[in-house]
Structure 1
């Protein structure tokens, strides 16, 4: 469940007659507990309460109190030994009249009437696993409003199916934007009279809802009629009290969908909410899903928290503005210059959604401007920062409308805060008809026409704030000397998830620039467009992106082109989780990258420490892998750059499964011990190595083929392989006459070091294994045949894991290993014989520590929560020995490890005579 669904369920519970017996179970169901969980609690199997209540381990202890004894019961819950033993996060007591709860972790409390407890549903969101976004808890109004609007939207479409068709969907979405404005306006005195819109509908529309649509239509018509024209408009007297709004919000058709009694009830309920509490930056990102059939089931999934947005905006330009404000002190002239600079800054989001990046940028800039005004003794001065400086492109028309509306609401709220209610109201209506959000495809539009270079205007003018066809350009005005900051959270879409239209857009941007552009994530196109935009105007761009564009094969495809445009990486935030409002949702792993042709120094590199706190590192350069260092780009190498042994891809069977055997299939061959030793070998791929799966293969050398064919079950398997290969592709046909063998027949005569091709990112070390002579490695792993054991010490090190995690990339969230990209490029300093001997002993200690826990698998041994102490100590010793070879001490963290590895890689490339791809471009 997501937060919106939870709010709806909690609100429904509060409306039902109170049942003390059922309340605890209904409450837990509202927060997403499954029926099987509830059943176990009901039966007492998992209920550990010692007070006759319901106690869910690690979550909550609920007790229904006697009338008037809620406070006393809560105290008993707090003192309960069962609460302590079960590590309950919350305690809750209610008697159906009063309602009290406490968060045992933070000490926060809730005390209200029973009917009011849905107002505090955000307090309990950790029960549903939603713990990552504190702002959601503090903004329960936005979630409640979204929930109500979603119900109304669905109900209206049910009664008006034609309004859901493509031809009228825009009109339906425009209707919802009008409603949102009316709800906000009636609670903030924009309408002359509190609750005017809702009260008029309640009074003038019939209870059976037969004329509700007509009443709303007349109200909309009034708000599109100038006061001077009202005498001829023949408006009903009850509608004449609404102001003239203009701005395109109420222009055009005033048709309204028909309302059922339920829909009318929903509308009135929405109007009863306190819309002064709206947060346009949060509300907009949630409401955009209401109008999308595919996304309505994921309300809140688009939520972007304010702290995450500020991870982009602060280093992009807000930190610099605040620094200049601090430097200005109380100097009137310096403050005036800074205020003029603020008025000329443009913020442009070419994937703006509901405008949350633009809204936050606007609110932060207004706060800085207000401080300037106060220091200059001009408190309450009209703002010089125009909304038209906040540009956006959005594909969906409803989201574009909400973005405009969110900025209008943000401007009004800032005016109230910094100038006062009276001044804000005087200048709010009528709305301006200037248009600054374009509805269109950002990858098909010319960004220079939406946000032109300073000192130039736009060729066309948009007539209507809330209507933006693609052929309309934006505001025609000059902004001489201003800065442009591009920002946002564009759609990611990995190459496998892209549809034909996405590929076509990538092709248009990249085909003439690079090969292998089909491997790029969709978000890469926004970086390339931003880099091209920067050639023509002074700008800096920063986007949230999947971390995959800074890993593996995408780096040599994308970043040489970015750097060739003259752009450099000015700041970056390394990988972190970008969470949403879904229950128990880990979010997607992202990075933030800021690029510009005019970088400030030093560069700023942000990352999270082990406690989740953001730390900042300042450096002279940031490379394409988001590590401090020159911008050499790691490309595949056919041979190791250092002294390490050659690593090869495992053996490919191309056999349809006929040369591979489970243990049962091996036994079914009924071979003698001698035959088994001659024709059957143990084979390892990633799964076999990590999870200890037992698998075998037929391994038949040419000299033993006649003997093998004399064994009927083996002969049949060889026949099946031959048939498959003859009917296969060229590679398969070429080896059809060798159908008793794999495509290649490599194995170690003495030993084999095996490295899985895919492994979990949760492990601190890369899984690897040292196997005896004759072990076969499949094409799902890599092998070093008869290599010195110190090679295993390299592979098992933290240094190597950090390197391959950066340069090899990932498959979903798993590490994807590559011999040519990860092993052959791994920078290793010159090793003395003593170094090799020390590393050999480290490898032996790791293997012995594993052996002590036989038959535990690699997966079990390297579980981050359960790793044996002796194995952890062996790895720590290995890391210490290896890292002292690199720098004479242990590295402080992974950031320092990467910096040293890239420094060494650059030197080794220079010595080898190879030039890193990025050298043709500007240094990043």
Structure 2
């Protein structure tokens, strides 16, 4: 078939949709030279007519034609509403595996809508006569093939970024002229909505752009004209701006705030920005960027750790908390309606059978048929009643569910720029649209959309961030309506959105706990602020009010996000919310912050979690956790996979090690190293120069207060010859000053940093480390060496450090000097335990060893526990086997780290310190740089694995266990020991 034949045939066709659609499509296949569904896929698995579920009694599928990975195609009769066809196929796009093209046709026109994920959509229309053009036929072949030839080359985010860049320039210019950042933000929002409104055809004929261009050389006139336009947009009734009718926008955005005076360069910038970008397609999250730019001078949101998030990440909360439960509810309601409609269809069939029998009887025996008429009418009446009742039942089921959806409410109690609410609103409107289409396919009609902006509520502390949330929601709502409802929104275009409240979500002005409204679900991304930074960021008075209001509910050391988790759980317990989904700091899995999750875990209400996800906060990459809790989740999932349980540390192990107790046997052994609180550390060259100085006025050498220093990177990498000044904890200022050179360094470099500190101890005793750890030094006293491990490390290993070393706060120091303790800690059994009880840190999500959770809870073998001096079990064969294996492992590692052929040992400049290990030459120095424990355990050569296997076997034997236990079996047995000893007070 050629183009002329195709055009002639279908121009004259008067076939209805059902009569003509498949033949039209087959003719089009022949015209384009592409395979038909039956030619390519006889089974209809990848390419077919009527793809998807059928309505009761037969009928349309989700799409009239579908080809996997290429298109979904929906037909309507000639001159019918193709927007309705688009709404229908869009509603089912997910079920159709989101093809890149959505096509609608009335057999006169073919309209192609691009549907590529994360792109600005484009539309192509092909009329009948256009098919004479090879380029148009080529376009349709690209659709058949699913080719990315028509894929838009810009994403909404890229378009948004370009537009935001322009507005950043304007924001800077306005602030440079002395305008207050909040006023700038408000004015920018007004301009942005005007650009959106004209591109969405809510302001007609590019009114805003024409105004800007017409006044570009007359800034004073532009100010007057904008003031008048904004005023008209806020007015109700028949309002005109010149000859242009202006709809009633309302909403408070155009609230009479003064238009900021603009200069010619500003107007040119605004004009270009309006003209060069399709603002109807922007991603509303642009407004978060605009707001941050407008407030860049003050960083008001940054002070509270605010941030803005993309849709895909938000859906990890919205889908399990909102979408899946509502979809499951609708599936159940739809099945009930389908069952009722089946009864109606059965009644129709019964009626048809009865009438056909009556007709046959009338032909065969008219008198008998006449005699049976009364009985037949009675039967028909009964059938009609059943049919009507069945249809009413189905209609009522759908009506009740749609009303339930219309009353569904979502709260974000830290809504920021409104991104979470924006995504939630779109999903609710999609669900409603899908439900209405489903009902129509059952033959149930007359249902109108009801879900709107009233579905979402927000709480936001900053006034203009709250306004920003309103703007995001207005534009997001209007984008959905204009794209999927295919009709303009009614007046007022902007509702007031008073439910976006500008207030503190945690405290009332009088310091009492703030109340959250009763809703169906709570979602959000509360501020990221670590417990240790609360006072610096919020101030002492605010923190004290917060602690007082939540005393006994949230530990004082917890991150700020923990307060949102705790309040969310209280809302669920009180019946004021059904489900909650929040993004939290990664530390919600451990320590003080985890305690608010323990209660949720104990109630078996923790239903959804992502333990460790990449995120961005103020431009920095971080790791976060996400949790969902409450009732009505469709399934329990951890990290995207089904899980039987979710523990409060966001693991699914059968043994919940978060319930492990600290053991008295392990008390007073593990410590976090000292925290300097200033530049007390110096290079080795400086330290050796001080060590070589004459005695001080007190007759003492500088060696009294100079020690080698180790931090985490020194253990995972190599020591960089750093030393540290360490005055004794009880050293007075007068005594410290007698050590002239070290004191002079501290006086010059540390004192200026300490003078402005809040804590008296840090400010007044500035020559002493901020956290000198007196308990650690008492426990280490009298030992020639001690065990240390990095708090944060990819691999969990332990090393020996000499007593002359000061361990930094990034190390855990263990006050034992025996090979037995070293061996047990280095074993696989302890590693498995530590990985189950540790926390996780940083972008690399590295395990963080905590003395409290990892060491204090670990049950050592009976008779070899840490409260027993090493000398008491020196003759125990178990201890001897472990100690021998541990010594061998350590000797092998040390020989690999510092091989004799590459190194030379040199005594320090004064006695009392370990020998220096130096490379023999430059080649050796280069080779030694790669010899780190991290690299060694990355490679894990066979000799290392064998040494660990020997140690692991010795440690397992000490417990009386086989050496080949699985990780789960190890955890189960160690946890049982922990619980047994804790119960016995050991």
Q: Please indicate, yes or no, whether the TM-score normalized by the shorter chain is above 0.5.
A: yes
Equivalent of residue 592 in structure 1, options 626, 651, 659 = 626
2:566 to 528, 553, 558: 528
In structure 2, relative to structure 1, the CA distance for the partners of 1:838 and 1:242 (3 Å cut) is: same
Equivalent-residue separation in structure 2 for 1:504 and 1:689 (angstroms): 41
Matched, 1:542 2:586: no
CA contact (8 A) 2:833 2:971 kept: no
The answer to whether the Cα contact below 8 Å between 1:619 and 1:628 also exists between their aligned partners in 2 is: no
CA shift in 2, pair 1:877/1:445, >3 Å: farther
Q: Structure 2 residue aligned with 1:249, among 224, 249, 253?
A: 253
Cα distance, 1:554 vs. partner? 4.1
Partners of 2:456 and 2:262 lie apart in 1 by: 36
- What CA distance in whole angstroms lies between the structure 2 residues aligned with 1:370 and 1:497? 44
Aligned position for 2:65: none
Aligned-pair CA distance for 1:292:
1.1
Partners of 1:353 and 1:400 within 8 A in 2: yes
**Number of residue pairs aligned between Structure 1 and Structure 2:** 688
Matches within 5 A, 1:509-908: 509-511=546-548, 513-514=551-552, 517-536=555-574, 537-556=576-595, 558-559=596-597, 568-579=605-616, 582=619, 585=620, 587-596=621-630, 598=631, 603-606=636-639, 615-624=640-649, 626=651, 628=653, 633=658, 637=662, 639-640=664-665, 646-647=669-670, 662-668=687-693, 685-686=710-711, 689=715, 691-694=718-721, 744=777, 752-756=785-789, 758-759=790-791, 761=792, 763-770=793-800, 782-789=813-820, 791-792=822-823, 794-795=825-826, 797=828, 800=831, 803=834, 806-807=837-838, 817-827=849-859, 837=881, 841=885, 844-845=888-889, 847-854=891-898, 860-862=930-932, 869-870=939-940, 874=944, 878=948, 882=952, 885=956, 901=971, 904-905=974-975, 908=978
Distance 1:359 1:859 in 2: 51
Q: Structure 1, residues 562-596: CA drift from partner, whole Å, max 9, x if none?
A: 679x68433221122203694xx5x1121112233
**Whole-Å separation in 1 of the counterparts to 2:947 and 2:405:** 55
Q: What displacement does 1:617 show?
A: 4.3
Secondary structure of the 1:246 match is coil
Deviation at 1:142, TM superposition (A): 0.9
Q: Counterpart in 1 of 2:157?
A: 139
CA distance in 2 between partners of 1:370 and 1:869 (Å): 55
Alignment of 1:290-329 (within 5 A): 290-294=293-297, 302-325=307-330
Aligned to 2:269: 266
Shift of 1:325: 4.7
2:207 aligned to which of 196, 204, 212: 196
How far apart are 1:198 and its partner, in Å? 1.0
Contact 1:148 1:270 in 2 (8 A): yes
- Give yes or no for the alignment of 1:425 onto 2:477: no
Contact 2:709 2:724 in 1 (8 A): no
**Are 1:506 and 1:525, in contact at CA under 8 Å, matched by a contact in 2?**
no
2:523 is aligned, of 475, 486, 489, to 486
**3-state SS, counterpart of residue 160 of structure 2:** helix
**Offset at residue 298 of structure 1 (A):** 11
Separation in 1 of the partners of 2:437 and 2:681? Answer: 81
Q: Which stretches in structure 1 are left out of the alignment for 5+ residues?
A: 1-107, 109-133, 455-482, 607-614, 700-712, 736-740, 917-924
Separation of aligned partners in 2, 1:154 and 1:443: 33
Judge conservation of contact 2:321–2:580 (CA < 8 Å) in 1. Answer: yes
Shift of the alpha carbon at 1:409?
1.8
Counterpart Cα distance in 2 of 1:698 and 1:406: 55
* Contact 2:324–2:634, Cα closer than 8 Å, also in 1: no
Q: CA deviation at 1:665?
A: 4.0
Deviations 1:398-447 (A, max 9, x none): 22122112222222222233321xxx315254433352211122122599
Distance in 2, matches of 1:324 and 1:187, equals 37
How far 1:755 moved relative to its partner?
0.7
- Determine if contact 1:803/1:822 at 8 Å carries over to the other structure: yes
Tell me if the contact between 2:584 and 2:624 (Cα under 8 Å) persists in the aligned partners: yes
User: Which shifted more, 431-440 or 907-916?
Assistant: 907-916
Contact residue 621 and residue 629 of structure 1 kept, 8 A? no
In the other structure, the counterpart of 2:174 is: 156
The separation in 2 between residues aligned to 1:322 and 1:502, in whole angstroms, is: 45
User: 2: CA distance between counterparts of 1:862 and 1:453?
Assistant: 56
Is 1:182 paired with 2:194? yes
The answer to whether 1:351 aligns with 2:414 is: yes
- Contact kept? 2:579, 2:628, Cα under 8 Å: yes
Cα distance in 1 for partners of 2:853, 2:281 equals: 50
Cα 1:766–1:404 change in 2 (3 A) is same
- Please report how far the alpha carbon of residue 775 of structure 1 lies from its aligned counterpart in structure 2 after TM superposition: 6.3
User: Structure 1 residues 278, 284: closer, same or farther in 2, change over 3 A?
Assistant: farther
* Separation of aligned partners in 2, 1:651 and 1:354: 41
Partner of 1:278: 281
Partner of residue 287 from structure 1, selected from 286, 290, 299:
290
Structure (1 or 2) with the larger CA radius of gyration = 2
Q: Residue 906 of structure 1: CA displacement?
A: 6.2
Secondary structure at 1:692 match in 2: coil
Q: CA deviation at 1:632?
A: 6.5
* Matching residue of 2:110: none
Check if 1:237 corresponds to 2:242.
yes
CA distance in 2: counterparts of 1:135 and 1:836, whole angstroms: 69
Q: Distance in 1 between matches of 2:776 and 2:821?
A: 30
8 Å CA contact retained: 2:785, 2:801: yes
Answering whether residue 424 of structure 2 is matched by residue 361 of structure 1, we say: yes
1: CA distance between counterparts of 2:722 and 2:263? 65
Q: TM-score, normalised by structure 2?
A: 0.59
**Matched-pair contact (CA < 8 Å) for 1:280–1:359:** no
How large is the RMSD of aligned CA atoms in angstroms? 5.4
Q: Map Cα deviations across residues 55-109 of structure 1 (whole Å, 9 max, x no partner).
A: xxxxxxxxxxxxxxxxxxxxxxxxxxxxxxxxxxxxxxxxxxxxxxxxxxxxx9x
Q: Is the 8 A contact 2:413 2:524 kept in 1?
A: yes
**What TM-score results when the alignment is normalised by the length of structure 1?**
0.62
Structure 2 unaligned regions, length at least 5: 1-118, 120-151, 339-393, 727-734, 747-759, 769-773, 865-875, 904-924
Taking a change above 3 Å as real, the CA distance of residues 368 and 207 of structure 1, as seen in their structure-2 partners, is same
Q: Is the 8 A contact 1:534 1:540 kept in 2?
A: yes
* 1:329 CA drift (Å): 6.2
Aligned residues of 1:570 and 1:599 also touching (Cα < 8 A)? no
Q: Residue 384 of structure 1 aligns to a residue in which SS?
A: coil
Q: Deviations over 1:483-516 (max 9, x none)?
A: 2333334343442354474554444344362499
